[in-house]
Amino acid sequence: MRGTGETRGPAGATAASPKRKRRRLAVVLAVCVLLAGCGLVAGGYYFDSVPTPSDLKLPESTTVYYADGRTPMAKLGAQNRTIVPYDQMNDSAKQAIVAAEDRTFWTNRGIDFKGVLRAAWANVSGGQRQGASTLTQQYARIAADLRGVTYSRKLREAVIAWKLDDAYSKEEILGFYLNTVPFGRGAYGIEAAAQTYFGKTVRRDAPPERQLTQAEAMVLCAMVKQPEADPADPEGTPGYDPRRNALARQNSIDRWNYIRDGMVKLGYLTPQQAADLAYPDTVRPIDKDAGRSDLDRPTGLVVNHVLAELRGTEPFRGKPDEVIRDGGYRIVTTIDKRVQDAAEAAADIRRDTAPRAVRGQPRNWQAALVAVEPGTGRVLGYYGGDKGSGADYAGWYSDEDGQARGFGQHPPGSSFKVYDLAAAVRDGISVKERFDAPDTKEFPASGRTKGSAAGPIRNAERAPCQPDCALWEATVASLNVTYFELTERLGTDKVIEMARQAGVESMWETVRGNPRPQRVDLRSDPADEVAKRFSTEVGIGQYGITVQDHANGMATFAAGGKRADAHFVRSVSKDDEEVWTEQLRTTDLGLDREALDQLDWTLRRVRAAKLDNGWDSAGKTGTWQAGQSTTQNVHTWMVGWTGALASAVWLGTTDGKPLRTSGGSYEVYGSTGAAPIWRQFMTKATEAMKLDPGKYRFGEPKFPGDTPEPTASAPPPSTAAPTPSASPSPSPTPSSPSPSPEPTGRPTSRPTLTPSLPPPPTVAPTRTRGPR
């Protein structure tokens, strides 16, 4: 297994056979002397139970990357360690560590014979204990987790080193050492040290300006002598980290000079090169948070979803999270850094980069945004909150114990009408078909009559076409009466089935006597059975869904009715070997080209969906009112797509109270709250992705079989916006307060079979009244 290393000393690494025998004899004699002092039983134990590197499982940091596979998102694991194979390291650290710790490394047999003999003699004579070691012995000590300078440790160290030197090449042993030794600041191994102290890498395939230099490697290798300050005297014995204090800096310089001299003696530097070499003053300051893993950033929530997703894959199913975190994996996510940046800039409403309409608002305002790639289901951008340890307002995930985490469900209001419309055009209902659309209307079959507690259905907006409106006009004006009638006509099961097939996997029902909405897995039972748990109000967005699911639904329509599962992981690899990769599959909703064109044609007429950057875009706003109020809202939405990107935005409050601007106004709707965030995001994200909008144009419907009606009668997007109405929105049946509206018309009482999501600690539940 021996090989030739590019950093070998002039003498080479292979000894002549007679010399090797003499050295082996010296080791045997030294060991025998030590055994005489330690006891044959102990000696036999050490010989029989020596751990070798092939048995060693070193914990190694797992790195989570953005979709480009190069930009790190977070590091996971108990130790900051990144293993780089020996042949992929540049020479800087290989040479410096030999000059610093073991200048005879390439010629010795892995053991300091003089040191072993001194220790043996001290053992039998009662002299001072000895502690000098070769690099091989040092690695043996670290690998075996041995502590303290004791005779038994010295014996075991020598035996392990002897076995190592017989079984592995010098290059392999040096690679083991450089990937294992601690460098301080929580960095284990040379790659973690290079990143921690200099922001560089030892990988030889990196650009030259990013590679660790000789002078920098010498600073790092100086620290191996004492990686951390002595806790009993941190000021007086600070070690060799030059940023710790003045004494540590001087220690580092002195040790650096010692290493430089060794580099010359070993032939790694010429005297002139050594004279020209300058001590680098570019060591990064000590960062008290260096051990953190960037999980307190918005992308920390992405990591939570990544871990939850991987727990369900074959390589990691049934295994604890430590297997992932400490396994040294490269996890490449689906998150596009460009899209993520645009998402955070728009949806983090505390930033100056957020749209003017939502900046500087009360602290209880909160936004969430999810973007999905049509046709693949890749989540390209995800903003559910400020940090991974906080509440997730965009979705939910299962933790390691199988408990549901997150607070991503919100009543979608009229944004849910996209699924009603899709179900209608799939059933052959033209968007030009006309519907009765008065301001209020009774629906006895659903229990919405003047004599009922909820009363008749009311429109929250008015439109010029009333009281007789085409379906597309009712969509643009978001008329509840029309959509309630459409839901009755289709059946709640067809609407729910369309939402489920498009990507809405969970919906939260309200159960009498339970103050919290309960999650229902829409995939658990046939649609007609699931529909029994919800009332006709599902068609106007009364029941909570997640921002993530809603975004995936929009991506399905953007992909021509081809649904893919939303996911966060593209691949997992280790040591350049693939461990797992995403499984891209699509299912067809059964929407023909005409139905898709009518869907696009209608929703591109929603004023809030219009982008000003040349892209064809479609979308829908949504608003859900608070309590019994007809003027205060608690949830606002904007969802939509282009041919290349789909997204959903929610804007609400963290405590369930109505949205109230810093100026005291309650005039906050989907069109004025969530929509500005959506438009800014979609504009910036599509620009950053550098795609040609001409390749993603929408088709034009033919409206076959409809009563002739000039296409020109359709108002342009800028004139089709609804006008506010003083008429109240639909009201739910009164009962116990809940953060989500209660079902009406057809109450349900079956308990959920899946875990419910806990609300944020500050939730003050309110009853909602109706959609806009």
Residue type for position 38: C
The closest of 610, 628, 627 to 619, measured between CA atoms, is 610
Q: What is the pLDDT of residue 296?
A: 85
Check residue 104 and report its DSSP letter. T
What is the rounded CA–CA span in Å between residue 86 and residue 176?
8
- Tell me what the mean pLDDT of segment 398-410 comes to: 89
| pLDDT band, very low/low/confident/very high, at 389 (cuts 50, 70, 90) | confident
- The end-to-end CA distance of the chain, in Å, is 73
In the structure, what pLDDT confidence band is assigned to residue 762 with cuts at 50, 70 and 90?
A: very low
105-109, 578-582, 585-589 — which is least confidently predicted? Answer: 105-109
pLDDT of residue 746: 28
**What pLDDT does 47 receive?**
47
Q: Which of the four pLDDT bands, split at 50, 70 and 90, describes residue 448?
A: very high
Q: Taking 80 as the threshold, does the pLDDT of residue 287 lie above it?
A: no
Task: Please report which confidence band the pLDDT of residue 160 belongs to, taking 50, 70 and 90 as the band edges.
Answer: confident
What is the pLDDT, as a whole number, of residue 53?
54
Give percent of the chain with pLDDT exceeding 70: 79
Residue 661: count of CB within 10 angstroms of its CB: 17
- Tell me the one-letter amino acid at 530: V
pLDDT value, residue 283: 96
pLDDT at 736: 28
Amino acid type, 258: Y
pLDDT band at 57 (very low <50, low <70, confident <90, very high): low
The CA distances from residue 27 to 85, 119, 162, 248, in Å, are: 31, 12, 9, 38
Pairwise CA distance, residues 623 & 478, whole Å: 10
Report the pLDDT value the prediction gives residue 200, as an integer from 0 to 100.
96
- CA distances to 299, 401, 419, 488 from 760, rounded to whole Å, are 19, 19, 29, 35
Q: Which of 443, 406, 329, 457 is nearest to 729 (CA)?
A: 457
Q: DSSP letter string over 739-751?
A: SSPPP-SS---PP
pLDDT for 719: 32
So what's the pLDDT on residue 516?
A: 87
Mean pLDDT of the chain: 84
Q: What is the pLDDT of residues 262-282, one digit of tens each?
A: 999 999 999 999 999 999 999
Query: What is the helix (H) or strand (E) element at residue 626, kind and residue range?
Result: strand 618-626
Task: Indicate if the pLDDT at residue 13 is higher than 70.
Answer: no
Lowest mean pLDDT among 153-157, 238-242, 424-428, 471-475: 153-157
pLDDT at 495 over 80: yes
The answer to whether the beta carbons of residues 247 and 230 sit under 8 Å apart is no
The residue ranking higher by pLDDT, 158 or 613, is: 613
Supply the pTM of this predicted model. 0.74
Contact between residue 88 and residue 203 where contact means Cβ atoms under 8 Å apart:
yes
707-730 pLDDT, tens digit per residue, is: 554 443 344 433 333 333 333 333
Structural contact between residues 186 and 79, judged by C-beta atoms closer than 8 angstroms: yes
Angle (CA) 763-766-771 rounded to 5° is 120
Of 40-49, 475-484, 587-596, the least confident: 40-49
Mean pLDDT of 507-531: 91
Q: Provide the pLDDT for residue 365.
A: 97
Q: Is the dihedral of CA 263, 170, 579, 193 positive or negative?
A: negative
| Residue with the larger pLDDT of the pair 160 and 560 | 560
- Angle CA(469)–CA(470)–CA(476) in degrees, nearest 5? 85
3 state SS of 646:
strand
What percent of the chain clears pLDDT 90, i.e. is strictly above it? 66
Return the SS3 of 330.
strand
Give 370's contacts (C-beta < 8 A, 6+ positions apart): 379, 381, 382, 383, 384, 394, 395, 547, 548, 550, 551, 647, 648
Residue 25 identity (one-letter amino acid): L
Which pLDDT score, from 0 to 100, does residue 293 have?
65
Angle CA 690–345–692, to nearest 5: 15
pLDDT (average), residues 450-457: 92
Question: What are the tens digits of pLDDT across the range 116-140?
Answer: 666 555 555 554 444 458 999 888 8
328 three-class SS: coil
Rounded Cα gap, residues 300 and 302, in angstroms: 5
Would you say residue 616 has pLDDT above 80? yes
| Range in 23-32, 537-546, 590-599, 655-664 the model is least confident about | 23-32
How far apart are alpha carbons 575 and 568 in whole angstroms? 22
**pLDDT higher than threshold 80 for residue 342:** yes
Q: Residue 664: its pLDDT value, please?
A: 95
Provide the pLDDT for residue 18. Answer: 56
Q: Is the pLDDT of residue 531 over 90?
A: yes
Out of 81-85, 550-554, 574-578, give the one with best mean pLDDT.
550-554
Q: How far apart are CA 405 and CA 397, in angstroms?
A: 5
Higher per-residue pLDDT: 287 or 643? 643
Tokens of 134: 């070769």
* Mean of pLDDT values over 455-461: 91
Q: What's the confidence (pLDDT) of residue 589?
A: 95
Distances (CA, A) of 770 to 527, 542, 608, 747, 767: 24, 7, 20, 17, 10
Q: State the average pLDDT over residues 330-346.
A: 98
Q: Record the tokens describing residue 39, joined without a space.
A: 């006891």
Structure confidence at residue 576 as a pLDDT band (50, 70, 90): confident
Is the model's pLDDT at 404 over the cut of 80?
yes
